[in-house]
Every structure is written in structure tokens, then in C-alpha cells.
Amino acid sequence: MSTTITSGDLAIDTHNLTKSFGQTEVLHEINLAVSEGAIYALVGPNGAGKTTMIKLLMNILRPTTGGAEVLGVGTQRLAGEVFNRIGYVSENQEMPEAMTVGALMNFMRPFYPRWDRRLERELVRQFDLPLERKLKHLSRGMRMKAAFAISLAYRPKLIVLDEPFTGLDPLVRDELIESLLERAAETTIFLSSHDLAEIESFASHVGYMEEGRMLFSEEMTVLANRFREVSITLPAPAPLPPKLPSAWMLTETVDCVVRFVHSEYRGEASEREAATVFPGARDVAWEAMPLRSIFLAIAKTGRTQNHAMRTTAGDGRPEA
Amino acid sequence: MNQILNIFRKDTRRFWPEIVLSLVITAAFALIYPVQWLPGTGERVRELQYLASVFTGLVPVSWCLLIGRVVHAETLVGDRQFWITRPYEWKKLLGAKVLFLLVWLYLPFLAAQSLLLAEAGFHPLSYVPGLLFGLLLVTGILVLPLFAIAAVTANFARMTLTLLGVLIALLGTVFAANMVNRYTAFIPSSDRISLPVMLCLCGAAVLIQYASRRVWQARVLLIAGPVLIAAVLFAASRSQDSLVNRYYLLPASASAAPFQLQLAPDSRRQVTAIRISDNVKFINVPLLVAGVPDGYAIQIDNLRATFTGQDGFSWTSPWQSSYGQRFLPDTEQTELQIRIDPAAYERLLKTTPVSLHLRLALTRIKAGATTSVVFPKGNVELPGFGICATRPNFAFWGTTDENMDCRSALHLPQLTYLVTVWQDGPCSTIQPTPEHTAVAYGWTGNLNPDPAEFGISSVWTPNVTFSNRRVHNGMADLSSTPWRFCPGVPFRATQYHLVDRTQASMTLTNIVLPANVVPTS
């Protein structure tokens, strides 16, 4: 599940990152490491703390306790020149509405020594941006495209996107994803979303947050390999054994069929384990699960169990 | 520097309507304001003077708009701003905003002030330090507080609401202070604290916001600062005795009193009492003045009165202002107005005559340069004072009235004693006879040594009030005669400078309090 990476390889590194507003803790001791080059998707339901997490990473908010580093810089020192290497786009961001797209480009260009005029023209053409139109007169999709364009034109080392595709039509969403993937080789992408389907196709790593806690964080392929939907057909209806393996989630019986989700699938070892629990099983089916089903299973199982489920090597931090 | 210029250019392009509006208001103010000192009293002049007042008020309003808009272009409050995740350097962002204000607020304002000085007959280049000091005052009193409020508010609407709140709080504080402190003493140096403190607090709030966007820290600073100042001033006002003792040094010995007061010989009949309201009553004590040394004058700033009745009942007033009454070596008589508690007055009335022990907080001033001229028909420049002219065809009714127009550069003139001659006939009368003239005198200006006072206009029009309460050349009834200040009369202006502030005590006995209290309408 995890790879050994040094801190120099990390684009994002958090340590017990916690944020409270008054008495309400909205983020609880988040430990996360995102290696350079990853396309990391932070998913979770609305109110899970994803946006707060990103605002902490961007030094828009300050942590209550704990800390984080982005591109090797402590987030509380994240200002000025460091943002030459970071592109940030958020669905909630207030854009300079009174400016035209062209004026915004002209204004932002001098801020970035690495601004690529050729790439700027390419993005303008690719997104079909109307340079003479004011941002306040643009559609939501077009505004997001403009935000992408001015965040990609200087080839940032890290692109942070907060719910970038929310409310966009599929065409625009695909255009934006395509533009991101074209630059994925030279950058790290960290994005949040509550829509699993939109990130499943391109994220290399995924982290799941709920109620301010990071339930797990790992590589997509590892996650997909780890989960199986299991269906065991027994010769006759029988009660479930009192003690089931801890990796089995949402275990239920319907007549002769026992169903559960295996969260630590290890091939033959897991199959032998199932055969041990149900020695007289007539049939056992192991099916891979789509990301959406995995998250639903996790959500239904309950926060405490899910939290314990996350296993990491080394310092206990989930790594991407 | 590139970032500063980049942001400055962006702001200039974006806020050109606000800039144009501010420039138009400033230009209109500069062009219309001279009507305040131009001769003429007709309807048209009054309309223009009213318009000048309106534009004078609009200038800071346009600044408010300009400052609010430019600061909120990169608002420092909130977590959704576009700019906070861009490579802005806070010092350069702040620098860009300062540059914007320098170019579009300070330069036009400086130009308007210079233009006004020139229009008034003063050469602007002679007043550069004063102009710069005036800008510092404008910064401390208006621009920086507005900037700080803009820095801790998210948008112009909230800034406007905050300003309204500040205004209401100020009015409430003044009202409460007046309610609590019925006797207000004049403390000469109290204003020296507020401005530097406000400058520091507002500056710190702006720096905190730009450097770290710690909104609540900045807000607490801005709220706590004035509250702290108000609390300190309030506490100080509650212990005015120590405050007066601090600024007015106690004399080394009783014999050091710089002048003497004694009851006017016929004082038994002349002490009068005035009732302003149920809670406010004054008594006027007629006094003879003596012992003011030549070349000096004495100004009574505050007094503290202790009345003692024949039965031993005693009432002491808090320190109270005596409105800067001044005595010259040739001053013979005066009238001291003392506020007294109505209940104490009623009690003392039963044991009148009473004794009065006075503690006086005094400012000693010394005569300096004197300018004597025969007042010409047009403008006359009085060195160190300003430029004055007679107001044509304007009659003086009664013993007190304005009778000349003066203007001074950047502040009211140094405290000056003016002496001239009135005549009771038209100015066309050639060489009026002595029986138709009267000496008129008056004080104007102040002891503020600063090179400029806070104001939107760089030209001040000091109120020159002449009076003559003495019988002169056999004319006993000055109050019924129209008196005119005409060209061709002798005119003398003597500047006075601060020597020191001290205290004196004296006791007056046998004061008969009148039972008849004159109500005022």
C-alpha cells in the first residue's frame, strides 16, 4: 500500500494537522503525505473538511495545532514567491470580476517569472476564452476555464484544486481534466471532490475524509485490489459465526447467501480464510469493486472501524 | 517595484471613475473655497460660501470612497480572495496602495492646498514644512484611520456601516462625557496623546493585516485603542486636580503670584447670578486687576472656587474652564464667571456675605513683535499673522462684532492682541473728530506652535472680534451706536508667546450673593 519516500519527494506533508472553529473541531489530526508527481484526490461527503484542509495547505487558514509543509515550505510561511510554484483554483474563489480575461492575464503575467506566453496562448485557444469579456459576464464553466488558464500558464509544480468541477457540464469538466492530464507529468495535482465518478478515471491516489478525519489514503490501484465484494452460498440457512475477521465489512445473510465486503483482500489467503469460516460453502464469489461501492461500504461500516482499518507503514501516516 | 507598479496600474485602470470623482470634488473645492475670504456679503456670495462648505465636506467623503475601493480591491478579510494564493508580496501590495493614495489623493490635495494658499496671497513654497505637517495631520486623523477601517472590513458597505458605528460611538462618548463631567477644565496638552496613539494603532492594524491577515487582532487593536484612550482621558478627567497640577506648576511661594485680583469697590451690588438651567448656575464676580508686569499678559485657563459661608459651610467646585480670559498690564477690571452647584448656592445664600478662595490655573504670555500700520484700503499683510482687509460697507452693531476679514496660512495666527480705532460715522467721513472715535481691541489666534493645524483648507479665516467696554472720549453709550472699522485708521498687532503655565491662589472676602437669580433664555 505504501512506498518509502523521503521528505524531499513530498509535495504535501502534514503532521497532526488540526483545525477548530471555536469549540468545533472540523479537522482532526490529519497526517498525510503526497509525493511529487501524484494526482491525489481528496474525497468525502460535503462537510467532511476537504475545503478546510486545502485552505490550511494554502495558508488561507491557520491550523489550531499541528502543521504542514507544501513544497518543503511550512504552510504558515506560504506567501509571496512560493506561490510562483503553486496553482490554486477553487469553486469558491472570488475572481476579480471587473476585469476582462485578457486584462487578468496581462495583470497576472508579471507576477510569474516562469509564465509561458506560448502555453498561455495555447490554453486560451484550448478553452476558447473570450479575452475581451469581463469575468462577471462569463458563465460558470468559462470562469473556471479562465481560472485554470491563469493557474497553469506558469507551469506550477503543484496544482491545488478545490471542488473544481462542481456544477460544470460534462463537456467542460472533460476539457478541464484533459488540460490537467496534459500537464500531469510535470506537476503534482491535489484536488478535492465529493463526486467519486469524476476523479476515478484519472486520480493516482485517493484519500477519504469524513467528519474531519482522514479515514484512509492510498494509491488507487492498491485500494481497488484491497477491496472485494464476497458472496458465499451455504447449503442451508445458518446464523453467522459469533466472531468474524475484522477485515470483513457489512456482513449480512439472506437465506443461504452470506455477503460481505473484504477490505484486506490478499488472494488465496483471504479465500482460505473464508473457507475456514464457512467450511461447507457450496460457492464463493469474489468480485472487484468500483470506487463508489468501496466508499459506500466504508461509509456504511462506521467511522471508528474505518479509522482502525487504515494501516500504514513507518510513522503511521498514510502516504500517496 | 514592478509588482507595485503593476498593482498600481491595475487599480488606476479599475477605479478611474472614483479617481475622476475625487479629482473633480477636490478641484471644485479649490476653485470655490476662496469665496470664504473674498469681500462681499450678498446672496450670491452666501450661496457660494455654502457651496464651498459642501465641497469641503465632500473632499473627505471622496477620500473615503477612494481608500475603501482601493483597499478592498485586494480585500484583507475573508478566505475566498483571488489574490491571497498568488505571489503577492505584502510589502509591495501595501506599497502599491500607498502609491495609489500618494498619486490620486495626496498630490491633488497638496495641489489644491497650494492653490488656495496662492489664491489667498501666500506663496506656497514658503509654507512647504507646514504643508507637509498638514498632510501628516490629515494622514493621522483621516487617511490612516480610514485605511485601517478599510483593511479590517470586507467591502465598502461594511466599511460605511463601521464608519457610522464609529460616528455614533464618538457622539455617544462626547454625550456621556458631558453628562458625567459637568465641570470641564481646559488641559493644554491632552491632544498631544491621542494623535500619536491613533497613528500607532492604525498603522499597526494596517501592518498586521497586510503582513498576516490576522483580522481579529487588527480589529481588537482598532477597537481597544480608542476605548483605551477614552478610558485614560475619562480617568484623567476624574482626577483633574492632578492633571491641572501636572500642566500648571504650583508656584514656589505665595508671593510669586503674577498678578492680583480684588473685588471691585462696589461689588456688594454688582455680584450677579445667572441660571442657565435647573442644574447650571453661574455667578459673576466683578474684580479689579493689578500687577500684571509690562510686556506680559495673563490668561486664566481654569479656576477652582471655594465658597465659605459665615457659619463655616464650605463648597468647592471642581476645576472649571474660565475660557481663556486675558489680562494686560493696563487691564483695570474684569468679571470672573464661576459655575456653582445650585444647591450649594441656595445653602450659601443663607449665610451671605461669603468668602471666596480662588485657585487659578494661568498661562503667562509675553509680548513679542508688534506691527503698527495705518490700515490701507485694500489688503494688508501683517507679518506672522496673515493678510487682512476691511470689510466694506459693514456696520458694527453694539460693543462686539466682526469688523475685518483676515486669513492666515495653514493655521490660526499666533495669539495676537489687536488695537485699532472705530468711528461712528460712515467711512467716507474724512478725519472723524475724536468724539466720534473709540479705541477697539481684541484677541485672536492661539498658542499652538505647530506649523499647521488639521484642516481640509490650507487657508484659515481667524475670527477677529473687537470690543470696547470702556467709556472713551466722553462717549458713554457705545452699545447704541453703529461703529465702523475704516481704512486709514491706525492698527497695531502684537504677538504673544507662551512663557509658562502656573497657578495662583487668592482669597476674596465679603462677597454678597444676590438672592435674585437672572434666568437666561
Choose among B2, B14, B89: nearest Cβ to A98. Answer: B14
What ipTM goes with this model? 0.83
In this predicted structure, what is the pLDDT of residue B521?
A: 52
Q: How far apart are CA A108 and CA B145, in angstroms?
A: 30
Contact B377, B346 (CB under 8 A): no
Cα separation, B411 vs B258, whole angstroms: 30
Residue A78 burial (CB count, 10 A): 20
Q: Which residue has the higher pLDDT, B70 or B274?
A: B70
DSSP state of B40: -
Contacts of A40 (CB under 8 A, 6+ apart): A12, A34, A188, A189, A190, A191, A203, A204, A205, A206, A207, A320
CA B499 to chain centre: 20
- The residues near A62 (Cβ < 8 Å, ≥ 6 apart) are A56, A76
Nearest CA in chain B to A91: B80
Q: Is B236 helix (H, G, I), strand (E, B) or coil?
A: helix
Smallest CA-to-CA distance from B404 within B419, B392, B413 is with B392
Segment holding B466, helix H or strand E? strand B465-467
Q: What is the pTM of this model?
A: 0.85
Q: Which three cell numbers stand for residue B56?
A: 469641503
All residues of chain B having their beta carbon less than 8 Å from the beta carbon of residue A80 are 87-90
Tell me the sheet residues that pair with B492.
B372, B419
User: Half-sphere exposure of residue B418, counting CA atoms within 13 Å on the CB side?
Assistant: 31
Backbone dihedral region for residue B303 (phi beyond 0: left; psi -120 to 50: alpha; all else: beta) = beta
Does pLDDT of B259 surpass 80? no
With a pLDDT cut of 70, the percent of chain B lying above it is: 87
Phi first, then psi, for residue B260 (nearest 5°) are -125, 145
In B18-167, where do the E strands start and end? none
pLDDT at A167: 81
pLDDT of residue B480: 47
Mean pLDDT of A23-48: 92
pLDDT digits (tens, 9 = 90+) for B169-185: 888 877 877 776 667 77
% residues pLDDT > 90 (chain A)? 58
Mean pLDDT along residues B431-448: 80
How far apart are alpha carbons B467 and B486 in whole angstroms? 15
Please give the Cα distance from A83 to A50 (Å, whole number). Answer: 21
On average, the pLDDT of chain A sits at 87
Mutation target for B interface from A107, A109, A157, A190: give the one with most B CBs within 10 A.
Answer: A107
**Whole-angstrom Cα distance, residue A137 to residue A134?**
5
Interatomic CA distance for residues B397 and B399, integer angstroms: 7
Closest Cβ–Cβ partner in B2, B80, B88 for A80: B88
For the record, the C-alpha cell of B100 comes out as 495609489
With CA atoms as reference, report the closest residue to B444 among B404, B471, B478.
B404
Beta strands in B239-376 (DSSP E): 260-263, 272-275, 281-290, 296-308, 314-316, 320-327, 333-340, 354-374
Higher pLDDT, A319 or B46: B46
- How many residues does this entry show for chain B? 521
Of B6, B82, B90, the CB nearest to A94: B82
Tell me: the pLDDT tens digits for B460-484? Answer: 988 887 777 543 333 444 444 556 7
Alpha helix (H) residue ranges in B332-372: 342-349
Average pLDDT over residues A221-229: 91
pLDDT digits (tens, 9 = 90+) for A192-216: 988 787 788 889 999 999 889 998 8
B82 to chain A: which residues are within 8 Å by CB?
Answer: 93-96
Q: Which of A259-268, B45-54, B390-399 holds the top average pLDDT?
A: A259-268
Chain A residues with CB within 8 Å of chain B CB: 55, 58-61, 79-84, 86, 88, 90, 92-96, 98-99, 103, 107-108, 110-112
Residue B505 pairs with which residues in a beta bridge?
Answer: B359
B275, β-bridge pairs:
B281, B519
Contact A108 B86 (CB under 8 A): yes
